[in-house]
Amino acid sequence: MKKIRVMIVDDSATVRQVLSAVLSDSPDIEVIATAADPIFAYEKMQKDWPDVLVLDVEMPRMDGITFLRKLMSERPIAVVICSTLTEKGTHTSMQALAAGAVGIAAKPTTGLRQFLQESSADLVNQIRAAAKAQVKNIGGSASVKMAPASIVPPKHILPVQKKPIVTAPTFVGEDINKVIAIGASTGGTQALEFLLKSLPASTPGIVVVQHMPEKFTAAFAQRLNSICAMEILEASRGDKVQTGRVLIAPGGKHMTLKRADTHYIVDVNPGPPVNRHCPSVDVLYRSVARAAGAHALGIILTGMGDDGARGMKELHETGATTLAQNEASCVVYGMPKEAVNLGGVSRSLSLQAMGPAILGYAKNG
C-alpha cells in the first residue's frame, strides 16, 4: 500500500510532536518531515516533496498564506490548513482556502494536546481527501482556467429533463416555490465562491451545506457576502429563504428546510453526525425533498465521500432537477460520483456551466 507522505509546518513544537504521533497511527499516512516555519519547510521540500502539507497560518519569518501562494504559483500541492479557533485564525483561514488550500482543521488556543488527539480522525480524513485532490483545479489556478459563467450560453445547459411530479407543495400568494439546495465538501469553498459570485441578487433563495468545522462557517459566509451580489449569511433557526439570499449551515449543526405558510424557513439544530458529517448534505436534501419536492433545484459539488448521494436521489425522485459537478472540474470527484452512480442526478455539468443552469431554473422553473 502506497502511503500518503505528509509534512507538518507549525511553529509550535507541541503541535508538530502531537500531530506526528497521531498521524503515524494511521497505516496509510507517513510523516516524512516537520518544520518550524515555511523557510525551513521549503528547504526540506526541495529534497523530498510531500503529497500533502499540513500548514499553520501564523508563523515567524513567513506566514502560511504567503507560503501557500508561493507554492501554488510555483508547484501546486495539496494543503490542509491547521488554524486556531480565534477570530483572526478563522478569517485568515478563509484567505488560505481562497488561495488554494484543500481543507481546514481546527486547533484551540488551550488544551491543545488533548484536542488534537481527540480530533485526529477529522484531520486524517482531511489528509486523505487532500491526497486525492486535483490541485490544478483549486484556488488561483482555477480562476485562470475557468471562463466566466456568463459567457456560457444557457441554451447549452437547459432544459434538463424532469421526471413526473410525485409530490409538490402548493402555495398561495407570494411565488416562493423555487429553492436551490447545494452541498459540497473538499474544494467546495472555492467552487462555491466561483459559483455564487456569478449569480445576481434576483436569484431564488439558496441553502448550502459545506463541510467545515464549527466557527469557520461564519467567517466563510462573511467573506462571500463581501464579494457576492446575493446576501450570504450563516443560517440561524427560523431564517427565511428568499430571493437574493444564501443561507449556509453552521458548522456542527444540521440544517433543514421547512414550509411556513407562503414561504420557506430553515431549522438549525445540533445532532449526531450523518455520514460522518454535521452538517450533513443528506439531511438538507431530504428535508428539501419533503418541503419543496419538484419545485427545487439540487446541486452537488466537489467533495470526498458519499454524503448527499442518497438525499439527492430522494430529491430526484420527487421530480426535482438535480445537477452534479462533473469530474473534470472537481477538486475531488467523490460526492458527485456517488450521486450519479445512485441514479439521483439529472445531468452532470462543469462548474462554469452551473451559473447559467441556475439562471435557467430561475427563469423557467
**Residue 118, Cβ density class (10 Å: 0-12 exposed, 13-18 middle, ≥19 buried):** exposed
What's this model's pTM, rounded to 2 decimal places? 0.84
Catalytic entry in 83, 93, 120, 185: 185
Is residue 1 a contact partner of residue 27, using CB atoms and an 8 Å limit? yes
User: What does the DSSP 8-state code read for residue 283?
Assistant: H
Cell of 177: 416555490
**Residue 11, Cβ density class (10 Å: 0-12 exposed, 13-18 middle, ≥19 buried):** middle
Three-state DSSP at 181 gives: strand
Active-site residue, 198 included: no
Catalytic entry in 56, 211, 277, 282: 211
The per-residue pLDDT for 1 is 76
User: Could you tell me whether strands 347-349 and 321-325 are parallel, antiparallel, or unpaired per DSSP bridges?
Assistant: parallel
Cell of 67: 507560503
The per-residue pLDDT for 90 is 81
Q: Which fold has domain 156-364?
A: Rossmann fold (3.40.50)
| Two domains, one topology: 4-131 and 156-364 | yes
Active-site residue, 280 included: no
Active-site residue, 211 included: yes
- Domain coordinates of the chain in residue numbers? 4-131, 156-364
pLDDT by residue for the chain (365 residues), tens only, comes to: 799 999 999 999 988 998 998 898 899 999 999 999 999 999 999 999 999 999 998 888 898 999 999 999 999 999 999 887 666 778 888 888 888 999 888 776 667 677 666 677 888 989 999 999 988 654 344 332 333 333 233 323 333 333 333 344 444 334 458 999 999 999 999 999 999 999 999 999 999 999 998 888 999 999 999 999 999 999 999 999 999 999 999 999 999 999 998 899 999 999 999 999 999 999 999 999 999 999 999 999 999 999 999 999 999 999 999 999 999 999 999 999 999 999 999 999 999 999 999 999 998 86
Catalytic entry in 37, 51, 306, 307: 307
What b-and-e string marks burial along 234-265, b requiring 16 or more CB atoms within 10 Å of the CB? bbeeebebbbbbbbbbbbebbbbbeeeeebbb
What b-and-e string marks burial along 282-305, b requiring 16 or more CB atoms within 10 Å of the CB? bbbbbbbbbbbbbbbbbbbbbbbb
Given CATH 3.40.30.10, say whether it is the number of domain 4-131.
Answer: no
Q: Which of 69, 73, 77, 189 is nearest to 127 (CA)?
A: 77
Q: Any bridge partners for residue 104, and if so which?
A: 81
The per-residue pLDDT for 36 is 95
